Amino acid sequence: MRVQCIYSSYKDVVPPLDPERYSYISELYLIRAKEYVVYGLSVLKGDGKILYYIIDETGRPRSYISDLFDIVDSRFTIADWHFGLGTEQHTVSFIFGYEEFVKTRLHFEGVILQETEDLERFWKWKEIIDKQDTHPEEEWEMVKTDIDGVDITFKRNRRTGEYDDFKFV
């Protein structure tokens, strides 16, 4: 899954975020218009906001509210993403991500708290996810053919074989 940053400040988000609930947020380490790979996501208890777990400009995994992004590619890059429910101690209702992120509460919290051992495991999962991630532009190829004297150009998805954008010449 890929998202593109549309706000580089929480103050710019429309509609505005509740300042009491999000007063702990001071800085964003994001670049407007840049795409980021999503390595996990969760849904907050209370207001139902979605958090994306991405690698920000500090080079570390952090969570950011989905209001800051547009979804560029909604497909999850690994087939075995998992779903889990938060516990009473969690501030999240649901968690999606790689197996250990979802099923091991201490690992999930360790990534959030930037614990060394959990970050090492996160980086291993990141490598697996990144190997399977491709840009949408790279999935399409231009195909030209001639049918009964008519030149036809179209795009074909390398992954699915689907066709799009027919042009007759």
**pLDDT per residue as tens digits for the range 90-131:** 688 899 999 999 988 889 889 989 999 999 999 999 988 888
Residue type, 152: I
Token pair in block for residue 5: 């940053």
CA distance to 60, 145, 151, 152, 168, per residue, from 148 (Å)? 56, 10, 8, 10, 12
Structure tokens at 153: 């150009």
CA 163 to chain centre: 26
pLDDT of 16 reads 74
Ranges 49-58, 126-135, 159-168: which has the least confidence: 159-168
Average pLDDT, the chain: 81
- Of all helices (H) and strands (E), which one includes residue 163? strand 163-168
Structure tokens at 130: 């990144």
- Rounded to whole angstroms, the Cα distance separating 144 from 150 reads 10
- pLDDT score, position 169: 41
**pLDDT for res 57:** 94
With contact defined as beta carbons under 8 Å apart, do 57 and 64 qualify? Answer: no
* pLDDT one-digit tens code per residue, 7-33: 877 777 877 777 666 655 667 889 999
Alpha helices in the chain (DSSP H): 99-103, 105-112, 116-132
Higher pLDDT, 148 or 101: 101
